[in-house]
Chain A
Amino acid sequence: MSESESFDPMDPRIDVGEWAENGVDWLDETFGPVLDGISDGLSTVYDAVVDLLTAPPFLVMVVLFAALGWFVRSWQFAIFAAAGFYLIAAMDQWEGAMETLTLVLLSAGMAVLLSVPLGVWAAKSSTVSQIVRPVLDFMQTLPPMVYLIPALAMFGIGSVPGMLATVVFAMPPGVRLTELGIRQVDTEVVEAGQAFGSPPGRILRQIQLPLALPTIMAGINQVIMLSLSMVVLAAMVGAAGLGLDVLSGLTTLDVAIGVEAGLGVVILAIYLDRLVAALADRAPVVKAAKVRD
């Protein structure tokens, strides 16, 4: 109150920044132990996954990535995957790429786990939807680097703040497309579920989610792409991976290393995008619509 008394309308100064800082400090102080717990847990998981991906010789992993591509999509895609991942290794980016992949998998996974249920909730309740929508708008228009600041403040330097900033940054399309997907399920089909006496949970599981799945998968795809772009930026707070090389290329004006790391990111992006798109095509609704005698 005392501040507003000294407020000069001709020379305004509203301390939004200070409020935000106080808020973050408060979170840090109040939930300090909790945050530490999260941080420890996440970095343990992160280390384990990176170890898992980098433990086998890179050729084994290249073959595994190609096989997965073949299984999910096609042999052409498998060839692309093999060539792409081999190139990454040949550019000396293998370790960075695996770290980046781990960051993406973990943060996109968390973002999906949070955003899909939130999207379902928003689809069910228009109150929730009305609250969530402006928040998502806000989140999507905020410059990505801003997310790093509170993460840094709460978790310090490292991969964990990078991941958590990424989770927040990547969530909006997951929420939006899940809500959209569920809302656009034919009302008559949902009514059919109700009319035959199906409880709401079952309607969600048997009708709404399966029918919304292609749209939800499109959302998940976007979450992954956003995660990828964010984990590269997260190198600024010390997250490992290809981003570090991109950053060092930037700061030392080293074109070679910047291009190599950048190419690695592109290959990862194409691989993940096609993989998820192919998974979406395996959704039962999509398959059933394509069946021809």
Chain B
Amino acid sequence: MVMGLSGSGKSTLIRMLNGLWETTAGDVYIDDVDIAKIGDAELREVRQQKISMVFQHFALLPHRTVAQNAAYALNIQGMEKEERLKKAEEALEMVGLKGWGDKFPAQLSGGMKQRVGLARALAAGSDIMLMDEAFSALDPLIRREMQDQLIELQSRLNKTIVFITHDLNEAMRLGDRIAVMRDGRIVQIGTAEEVLNDPANDYVAQFVADVDRTRVLTASSVMETAQFVVNAEAGPREAQHTMREKQMAAAFAVGRRDNRLQGVVHDKDVVAAVNRGDQKIEGIIDTDVSSVHQDTYLADLFAPSAESPLPLAVVDDDHRLVGVVPRVTLLAAMASISETLHEAEAATAGTETEAVTTEQGGAAS
């Protein structure tokens, strides 16, 4: 992810990566080959085999069909017509344009054209993809859809993608690492959370000020340790003891070894079980418990949090209980975020922002 204001050199950077524009200083290595130093023919070879590009305004060939466009890179690589059209069809299918191969670009909507651009780059089969504001020309809904599609494709194809965007939320959503550029320089590289919580300078702080943090920060960054947990195989007395100690009306029941969330036990059931003389609480576990995955964005925690009488249980991929988010914690996190926002808007004093971030970090630990 490369971001920066207009004119900060993002397009310049990406065009140097595939040698469209020459560097005045520095080297660009692709698989140990310095592309600034090789001849034209070799450079074309590298572009054909190793690196492909998706353009902001799609850059399709208007006089060729969608299928021919998708096959363009393969055409240049010298692949036979039938084979390349077959591959192009596969790529089109990947981006959800199966059956559109015979149309011309003029017959497609903006989102579909960009998918053809994506299919063209995918069909090339190169390991590196350069995307210069590839989604900027799309309207928000389609853009969202394309982002989801890219995330989905990336989870299967695992390419190296250099993605340029103006849109911070897009960068945060798609990017593993984000580079922020200014005046032709990269001023910070880091994960979304690093850039948000620890901006390298005021410029970056200001730049990320209006990021919707609730769509970047996840449950795992605000969750707390679950205090009221009982072993699902324990007896009712032990459960009663835990609940009395923590002064809670209910407790999460987790598996003894795997720590998987099985449900909650409620105080009156526990008391009844004790009175009946039950040996295990298994029978009284209420499995109807709301839990959220640890990677859920804060924005998506509100609804379940509002509905749940208990703090939200946070689980990992294996449904293990990793923490809880009490409603008050969520609200506190939100408050500190909006505070950060206001301060950043009021032209950021770095220290104040830091103070708030620490507070927020405190809430997270």
Contacts and interface: CB of A to CB of B under 8 A. Distances in A.
Interface residues of A, number: 27
A11 interface: no
Interface string A183-196: 00010110111111
Contacts of A194: 20, 47
B45 A197 contact: yes
Contacts, number: 82
Contacts of A207: 61
A197 B57 contact: no
A193 to B, nearest CB: 8
Contact of A196 (B47, B63, B107): B47
Contact of A211 (B15, B18, B56, B63): B63
A9 interface: no
A199 to B, nearest CB: 6
In the complex, which of the residues A211, A288, A293 has the most CB atoms of chain B within 10 Å of its own CB atom? A288
In the complex, which of the residues B43, B51, B62 has the most CB atoms of chain A within 10 Å of its own CB atom? B62
A198 interface: yes
Interface in B81-139: 103-107, 120, 124, 130
Interface string A95-138: 00000000000000000000000000000000000000000000
Interface in A267-293: 283-285, 287-293
A197 B103 CA distance: 25
Contact of A288 (B52, B55, B59, B106): B106
B124 A196 contact: yes
Contact of B63 (A186, A192, A285, A293): A285
Given A196-B124, A198-B76, A189 B60 contact: yes
B59 A191 contact: yes
Contact of A285 (B45, B62, B77): B62
B18 A289 contact: no
Contacts of B107: 291-293
A206 B124 contact: no
Contact of B104 (A193, A198, A206, A291): A291
Contacts of A191: 15, 20, 53, 55, 59
Interface of B: 15, 18, 20, 43-49, 51-53, 55-57, 59-64, 72-73, 76-77, 103-107, 120, 124, 130
12 contacts: A189-B61, A191-B53, A192-B60, A196-B48, A196-B72, A197-B45, A197-B76, A197-B77, A199-B44, A288-B64, A291-B107, A293-B107
Interface of A: 186, 188-189, 191-199, 202, 206-207, 210-211, 283-285, 287-293
